């Protein structure tokens, strides 16, 4: 279906007959004009033209005056509009970054009420309204029409880079969502982000049922990221870490079910027992925040009849892969016979039956056999503050093969900042702006968890510099979707020990390259995050089927969805009927429908790793990595075809697991 059947809440005064007449008129007067582009541009502009924009006659005159039928004129307009859009997006982003500093960075003053209010302000909320009002949006639509995803994937195989860039300009104005609706969505997202950013669990307040304290007073873990990473780190302690892993598991389940004590959240004073506490629970805040975003999306839906739900817009327009296709892809892997093969290896290594939290088994990584406290000693010495990490970025880049000058040029576009939350990368929106790497840095310096996250975010930032500052067309800046930047981040994160400039780090870097362990680690990561994503996707389908649901009803439904996915794909391997662990991710609250990008990113990463393995020297690796990420924002399938010669697929990892499991069997014998 065309995106432009009618994308406004009002009726266009421009008839189909007039559209046809205008197309014939332009093509008759200018035979050199591309008739297909003329028809698309006029039809799509007409679909968004309302009575407030003018009469049908005024629309016809607008088309006659503003259609660029000569290729040279169209190219000049394209270059001009590219500059305009870059300037607008970049200026708005710089303002957003400045307004969010108090709520996102720890080196700012403690957030006050005005800071929390301003964190919800969206400088671009009125942008679309303004561009339609001054007719600039119509000029772009008229001359750079939109192509559907199917058309991009088929026609795009023969497009030049400039044609791709012009097609991406055609994606800018496809709906007319009012500014007030955009602002309400921004507010809901900001409220969810602020809620999650302060969801800390003070581990020193936890007690076993017999009154023992398992963590020191100063151990503070943000949900879900730090809780998960602490659980992973405890594998290095063997059986000694199991009791603490079990307690984290109890805390996570309480977060999902919303029966965690309200006073236990972000509170260093309240002592409680995760196994047996009956303290007053948190109200259904987690699910209130999700529903607030859902209600804002419902408002947006009415202005997008050709993509009438947030689900369709997220996957078919954002990710550019339909939700049903991803759902099938994920279920094929989590239901595969290869899961049992890898689970058997984990069971053998642990020397016990598997537990639900073994979904985060970390023993395939080189660091799993190392003491995290020892790693933290190294990282704190190396990175006492954000400036120290920033100063070391050129070395990190040259370690992976970038030439010194290239490393310096990339690093100078990256700013490192201490985050209140777990950390993230904030991309630049123009070539006069830096990309921002953010991670938690305690007063004692960057601990290993923060370092690991920082390397992940560094992978994002390097990609963002390459496909902004080294891209040929601004409209192609970026990647096909966020999964593809996650793939870059995973590539870097997997090499975090290799990047530590110590003897241990160098030795451990060799372990990172162990093919068998890498294969099992990536597969198990896919198995975990695909289940989480299936829960997230199913939850949003339920929300759209129950638009009037209460927070409690959503909580109950999400818990049941998590149980169903677990019982089908995870209980046979990890045990425990009706486990709710798959619903613990904070992204379900503050990043609607973002989670499927992670497993897709793992799939892309694995295919990239296989491809990059052909390039033996670090310099060859770096050059090929840079080539791939300078492809920019093609569609996911076309990007992969040009990057590695194949579309996104789970078949490579399934084949690799079979081969590595067979080799592991031979080795054991």
DSSP-assigned states of every residue in 138-150: HHHHHHS----HH
With a CB cutoff of 8 Å and minimum separation 6, the contacts of 2 are 44, 148, 306
pTM: 0.86
Which residue from 214, 216, 224 is spatially nearest to 253, judged by alpha carbons? 224
Element containing residue 379 per DSSP (H, E)? helix 372-382
Enclosing H/E stretch for 18: helix 16-29
Residue bearing tokens 């302060």: 198
Choice among 47-51, 128-132, 280-284, 500-504 with the minimum mean pLDDT: 500-504
Cα radius of gyration rounded to whole Å, the chain: 26
Query: What tokens does 403 get?
Result: 């030439």
Q: How far is CA 268 from the centre of its chain?
A: 31
Whether residue 162 has pLDDT greater than 80 = yes
- Give the H or E element holding residue 611: helix 597-612
Q: Which of 3-12, 196-205, 366-375, 447-456 has the lowest mean pLDDT?
A: 3-12
- The 8-class DSSP code of residue 222 comes to E
Nearest to 232 by CA among 98, 122, 363, 39: 363
Nearest to 535 by CA among 584, 489, 591: 584
Q: Which residues 6+ apart lie within 8 Å of 109 measured at CB?
A: 102
pLDDT at 304: 87
pLDDT band at 409 (very low <50, low <70, confident <90, very high): very high
d(CA 344, CA 357) in angstroms, rounded, equals 15
Q: Please report, in angstroms and rounded to a whole number, the separation of the first and last CA atoms in the chain.
A: 58
Which sign, positive or negative, has the C-alpha torsion 94, 598, 482, 607? positive
Q: What is the mean pLDDT of the chain?
A: 92
In whole angstroms, what is the distance from residue 304 CA to residue 173 CA? Answer: 12
Query: Is it the case that residue 109 has pLDDT exceeding 50?
Result: yes
How many C-beta neighbours within 10 Å does residue 21 have? 13
Longest dimension (CA), the chain: 89
Dihedral of CA atoms 241, 244, 246, 249 in degrees, nearest 10, equals: -120
pLDDT at 174 over 70: yes
Tell me what pLDDT residue 119 has: 79
Closest by Cα among 505, 497, 511, 463 to 643 = 463
Q: How far apart are CA 590 and CA 583, in angstroms?
A: 13
How much is the pLDDT for 366? 65
DSSP 259-311: -SBGGGBT-SS--B-TTT--SPBP-THHHHHHHHHHHHHHHHHTT-TTS-SHH
Residue-wise pLDDT for 423-442, tens only, equals: 889 999 999 999 999 988 88
Task: Say if residue 244 is preceded by a cis peptide, omega within 30 of 0.
Answer: no
- Structure tokens of 587? 């992204």
Domain residues of the chain, as ranges?
Answer: 16-174, 195-286, 325-364+517-668, 366-512
Span of 176-185, 254-263, 314-323 with lowest mean pLDDT: 176-185
The H or E element containing residue 415 is strand 414-418
* Mean pLDDT, rounded, for 508-522: 69
Instruction: Please report the pLDDT score of residue 228 as a whole number.
Output: 96
Which pLDDT does position 503 carry in this prediction?
40
Residue 1 has pLDDT above 50, yes or no: no
Helix (H, G, I), strand (E, B) or coil at 438: strand
User: What is the pLDDT, as a whole number, of residue 380?
Assistant: 96
Provide mean pLDDT across the span 141-148: 95
**Whose structure tokens read 């302000």?**
121
pLDDT in tens, 183-224: 899 999 999 999 998 899 999 999 999 999 999 999 999 999
> What CA–CA distance (Å, rounded) separates 633 from 547?
34
Whether the Cβ atoms of residue 248 and residue 223 lie closer than 8 Å to each other: no
The whole-angstrom separation of Cα 322 and Cα 537 is 12
**490-495 long-range CB contacts below 8 Å, 24 or more apart?**
490/456, 490/459, 490/601, 490/602, 490/605, 491/459, 491/605, 491/608, 491/609, 491/612, 491/625, 492/400, 492/455, 492/456, 492/458, 492/459, 492/462, 493/452, 493/455, 493/456, 493/459, 494/518, 495/400, 495/455
With H, G, I as helix, E, B as strand and everything else as coil, classify residue 55: coil
């Amino acid at each position: 279906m065309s995106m432009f059947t009618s994308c406004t809440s009002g009726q266009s005064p421009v008839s189909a007959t007039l559209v046809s007449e205008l197309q014939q008129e332009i093509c008759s007067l200018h035979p050199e004009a591309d008739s297909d582009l003329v028809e698309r541009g006029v039809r799509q502009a007409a679909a968004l033209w309302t009575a407030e924009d003018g009469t049908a006659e005024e629309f016809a005159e607008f088309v006659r005056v503003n259609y660029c039928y000569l290729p040279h004129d169209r190219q000049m307009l394209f270059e001009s509009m590219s500059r305009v859009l870059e300037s607008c997006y970049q200026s708005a982003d710089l303002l957003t970054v400045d307004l969010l500093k108090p709520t996102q960075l720890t080196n700012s003053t403690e957030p006050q009420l005005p800071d929390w209010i301003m964190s919800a302000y969206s400088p671009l909320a009125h942008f679309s309204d303004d561009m339609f009002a001054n007719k600039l949006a119509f000029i772009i639509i008229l001359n750079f029409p939109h192509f559907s995803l199917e058309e991009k994937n088929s026609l795009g195989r023969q497009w030049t880079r400039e044609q791709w860039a012009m097609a991406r300009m055609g994606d800018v104005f496809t709906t007319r969502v009012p500014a007030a609706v955009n602002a309400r969505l921004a507010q809901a997202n900001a409220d969810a982000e602020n809620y999650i950013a302060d969801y800390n669990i003070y581990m020193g307040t936890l007690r076993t049922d017999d009154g023992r304290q398992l963590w020191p007073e100063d151990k503070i873990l943000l949900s879900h990221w730090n809780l998960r990473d602490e659980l992973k780190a405890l594998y290095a302690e063997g059986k000694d870490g199991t009791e603490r892993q079990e307690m984290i598991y109890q805390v996570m389940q309480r977060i999902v079910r919303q029966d965690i004590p309200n006073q236990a959240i972000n509170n260093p004073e309240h002592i409680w027992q995760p196994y047996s506490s009956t303290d007053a629970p948190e109200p259904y805040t987690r699910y209130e925040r999700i529903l607030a975003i859902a209600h804002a999306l419902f408002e947006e839906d009415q202005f997008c009849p050709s993509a009438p739900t947030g689900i369709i817009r997220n996957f078919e327009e954002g990710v550019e892969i339909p939700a049903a296709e991803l759902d099938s892809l994920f279920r094929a892997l989590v239901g595969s016979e290869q899961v049992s093969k890898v689970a058997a290896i984990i069971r053998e290594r642990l020397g016990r039956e598997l537990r639900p939290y073994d979904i985060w088994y970390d023993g395939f990584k080189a660091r799993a056999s190392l003491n995290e406290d020892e790693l933290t000693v190294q990282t704190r010495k190396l990175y006492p503050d954000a400036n120290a990490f920033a100063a070391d970025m050129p070395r990190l880049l040259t370690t992976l093969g970038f030439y010194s000058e290239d490393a310096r040029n990339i690093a100078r576009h990256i700013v490192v900042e201490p985050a209140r939350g777990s950390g993230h990368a904030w991309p630049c929106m123009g070539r006069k702006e830096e990309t921002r790497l953010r991670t938690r840095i305690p007063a004692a310096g960057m601990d290993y968890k923060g370092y690991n996250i920082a390397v992940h975010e560094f992978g994002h930032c390097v990609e963002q510099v390459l496909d902004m500052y080294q891209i040929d067309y601004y409209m192609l800046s970026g990647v096909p979707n966020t999964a593809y930047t996650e793939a870059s981040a995973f590539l870097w994160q997997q090499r975090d020990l290799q990047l530590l400039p110590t003897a241990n780090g160098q030795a451990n870097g060799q372990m990172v390259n162990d093919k068998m362990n890498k294969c099992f680690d990536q597969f198990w990561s896919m198995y975990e995050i695909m289940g989480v994503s299936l829960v997230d996707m199913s939850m949003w389908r339920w929300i759209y089927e129950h638009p009037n649901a209460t927070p409690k009803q959503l909580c109950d439904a999400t818990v049941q969805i998590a149980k169903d996915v677990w019982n089908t794909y995870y209980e046979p391997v990890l045990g425990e009927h009706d486990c709710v662990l798959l619903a613990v991710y904070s992204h379900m609250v503050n990043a609607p429908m973002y989670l499927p990008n992670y497993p897709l990113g793992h799939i892309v990463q694995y295919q990239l790793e296989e491809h990059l393995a052909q390039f033996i020297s670090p310099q060859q690796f770096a050059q090929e990595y840079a080539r791939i990420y300078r492809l920019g924002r093609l569609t996911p399938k076309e990007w992969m075809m040009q990057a590695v010669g194949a579309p996104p697929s789970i078949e490579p990892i399934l084949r690799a697991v079979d081969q590595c499991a067979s080799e592991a069997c031979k080795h054991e014998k």
